[in-house]
């Protein structure tokens, strides 16, 4: 009896040992497996999936993952641009004068507005940074308002008033952008060159709710003609439009309708949108924006995802963080595929595919002629 009891104990003890051993080695294997799979797997960083759930949502708490301290100047590489012919762009610069004003605030001058200044803002005929407080060094205009979401419309009104009072004669068109909007001025000029600044019209990414003719998304930026600005400023003197609203772009859109300023169609000759309320990735990737997202119901024209979302001659993108500002600057003004014949030809009204074939044929004809001449 004693023996069997001992035997039982012994067997249960060895069972325990066995269990402990097995458990221990299982943990060991598991840890090793984890380690190896981490080391050996290809590391591809996926950006966090950020969706802005409110069409009028502004930029409250910023995730400062991409906080950049310095600045980058892509234009130092003059050597790579010696074969570039900018005559048409320069012609438009003088013909279509655009004053840009950038909505910013004292805390964002160094965080965001600085990168706007280092990139696209230089291409405006005139650029102003609008803040609640003046900053002589940056420089930024002080609108003498408070900061905050509910102040946006008031800031907008004051900003346009300031522009009207001080710079009305210096430009034909007046563009409003945020400090996280990237604007491609060359393409904006091409769009506006087909209209007269004396027309009462404004352009942006057209949304359809609430306003019969539609209104323009604030974040994607919008641009007023000279006549539109004149009427807008006058509307407050005569109280045609209200002064207060917590939704800047909607209030402006309502006012535009009241004062008979037309909401223009900013799409390119192939019907693709030029002003974008998000970064390219959100528009280009099918399924990125879920079908339940507000965006699909807001767009005035049928919204497209995938390559058809965006014009080759896009004008703006929004929610652009500081790294993406430089990324876009590089992709647009610097990196290029040598010798590539772009599919879309903005100056032709023909079908783009046909167009590139015809152009190639024409080019060959021209070169043939040249050869036979010499």
Partner 1 sequence: MGDASQANGKRDIAGAGNCRSLWIIKETRKGASEVDGQRDGCRGRGLRRESDTCGRGHCDGIKAQGLLNWDSSRRHQLELFRCCCAGNKSLYGTRHPRLSYGKPAVEPVRKSARETWSKHCDKAEFYSSEKVKVFDSVAVNTNDMWAMMRKAYKITYERYKDEFSWFFLAYPTTFAIIENLKYFLLKKDPSQPFYIGHTVKSGDLEYVDGEGGIVLSIESLRRLSRVLEDPDKCPEQGGMIWKLAEDKQLAICLKYSGVFAENAEDSEGKDVFNTKSVGALIKEAMSTHPQQVVDGCCSDMAITFSGLAPNHMHVMMYGVYRLRPYGHSYSDALVFLPPPGSDND
- Where in 320-339 is the site for partner 1 (CB under 8 A)? 323-324, 326-328, 330-339
166 binds partner 1 (CB under 8 A): no
88 binds partner 1 (CB under 8 A): yes
Scanning 145-153, 156-164, 230-238, 360-368 for contacts with partner 1 by CB under 8 A, the matching segment is 360-368
CB of 361 to partner 1, least distance (A): 6
Structure tokens belonging to residue 256? 């535009």
- Considering the complex, state which of residue 163 and residue 220 has its C-beta at the smaller distance from partner 1: 220
71 binds partner 1 (CB under 8 A): yes
Structure tokens belonging to residue 331? 């992709």
- Considering the complex, state which of residue 69 and residue 349 has its C-beta at the smaller distance from partner 1: 69
Structure tokens belonging to residue 277? 């309320």
CB of 146 to partner 1, least distance (A): 31
Own/partner contacts of 322-327, CB < 8 Å, gap of 24 or more, are 322/66, 322/67, 322/68, 322/111, 322/112, 322/115, 323/66, 323/68, 324/66, 324/182, 324/279, 325/115, 325/116, 325/118, 325/119, 325/120, 325/182, 326/72, 326/74, 326/115, 326/118, 326/119
Q: Which residue, among 17, 332, 35, has the nearest Cα to 188 in the 3D structure?
A: 332
Check: CB of residue 219 under 8 Å from CB of residue 178: yes
CB of 316 to partner 1, least distance (A): 12
Q: Which residues pair with 317 in a beta bridge?
A: 182
39 binds partner 1 (CB under 8 A): no
Own/partner contacts of 142-150, CB < 8 Å, gap of 24 or more, are 147/105, 147/106, 147/107, 149/58, 149/60, 149/246, 150/246
Report the residue from 2, 38, 43, 63 that binds partner 1 according to the rule CB under 8 A: 43
| Whole-number Å distance between alpha carbons of 111 and 67 | 7
Considering only residues 184-213, where is the footprint of partner 1 by CB under 8 A? 184-187, 189-190
Label residue 178 exposed, middle or buried (CB < 10 Å: 0-12, 13-18, 19+): buried
- Considering the complex, state which of residue 52 and residue 272 has its C-beta at the smaller distance from partner 1: 272
CB of 358 to partner 1, least distance (A): 11
- Considering the complex, state which of residue 290 and residue 339 has its C-beta at the smaller distance from partner 1: 339
Contacts with partner 1, 268-287, as mask; x by CB under 8 A: ------------xx--xx--
Report the residue from 38, 63, 85, 136 that binds partner 1 according to the rule CB under 8 A: 85
- Side-chain half-sphere CA neighbours of 28 within 13 A: 6
Considering only residues 94-133, where is the footprint of partner 1 by CB under 8 A? 118
17 binds partner 1 (CB under 8 A): no
291 binds partner 1 (CB under 8 A): no
Q: Which residue, among 68, 138, 137, 130, has the nearest Cα to 105 in the 3D structure?
A: 130
CB of 322 to partner 1, least distance (A): 9
How many C-beta neighbours within 10 Å does residue 47 have? 8
312 binds partner 1 (CB under 8 A): yes
Considering only residues 44-63, where is the footprint of partner 1 by CB under 8 A? 44-47
Scanning 55-63, 84-92, 134-142, 216-224 for contacts with partner 1 by CB under 8 A, the matching segment is 84-92
239 binds partner 1 (CB under 8 A): no
Which DSSP string do the residues of 194-225 spell out, in sequence order?
TS-TTS-EEEE-EE-SSSTT-EE-STT-EEEE
- Considering the complex, state which of residue 294 and residue 344 has its C-beta at the smaller distance from partner 1: 344
364 binds partner 1 (CB under 8 A): yes
- Considering the complex, state which of residue 241 and residue 279 has its C-beta at the smaller distance from partner 1: 279
């Amino acid at each position: 009896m004693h023996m069997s009891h001992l035997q039982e104990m012994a067997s249960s003890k060895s069972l325990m040992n066995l269990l402990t051993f097995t458990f221990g080695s299982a943990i060991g294997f598991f840890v090793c497996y984890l380690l190896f799979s981490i080391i050996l797997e290809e590391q591809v960083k996926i950006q966090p999936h950020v969706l802005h759930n409110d069409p009028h949502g502004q930029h409250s708490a910023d995730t400062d993952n991409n906080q950049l301290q310095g600045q980058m100047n892509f234009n130092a590489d003059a050597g790579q641009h010696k074969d570039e012919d900018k005559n048409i762009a320069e012609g438009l610069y003088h013909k279509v004068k655009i004053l840009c004003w950038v909505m910013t605030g004292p805390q964002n001058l160094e965080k965001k507005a600085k990168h706007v200044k280092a990139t696209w803002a230089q291409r405006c005929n005139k650029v102003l940074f609008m803040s609640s407080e003046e900053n002589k060094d940056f420089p930024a205009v002080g609108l003498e308002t408070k900061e905050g979401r509910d102040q946006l419309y008031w800031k907008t009104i004051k900003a346009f008033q300031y522009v009207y009072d001080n710079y009305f004669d210096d430009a034909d068109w007046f563009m409003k952008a945020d400090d996280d909007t990237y604007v491609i001025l060359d393409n904006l000029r091409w769009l506006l060159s087909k209209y007269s600044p004396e027309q009462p019209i404004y352009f942006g990414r057209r949304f359809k709710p609430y306003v019969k003719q539609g209104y323009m998304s604030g974040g994607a930026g919008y641009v007023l003609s000279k006549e539109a600005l004149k009427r807008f400023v006058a509307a407050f003197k005569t109280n045609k439009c209200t002064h207060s609203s917590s939704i800047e772009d909607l209030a402006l859109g309502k006012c535009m309708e009241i004062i008979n300023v037309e909401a223009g169609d900013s799409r390119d000759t192939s019907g693709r949108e030029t002003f974008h309320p998000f970064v390219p990735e959100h528009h280009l990737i099918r399924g990125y924006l879920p079908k339940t997202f507000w965006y699909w119901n807001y767009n005035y024209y049928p919204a497209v995802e995938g390559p058809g979302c965006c014009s080759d001659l896009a004008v703006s993108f929004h929610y652009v963080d500081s790294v993406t500002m430089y990324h876009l600057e590089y992709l647009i003004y610097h990196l290029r595929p040598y010798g590539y014949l772009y599919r879309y030809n903005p100056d032709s009204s023909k079908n783009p595919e046909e167009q590139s074939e015809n152009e190639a044929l024409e080019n060959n004809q021209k070169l043939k002629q040249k050869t036979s001449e010499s």
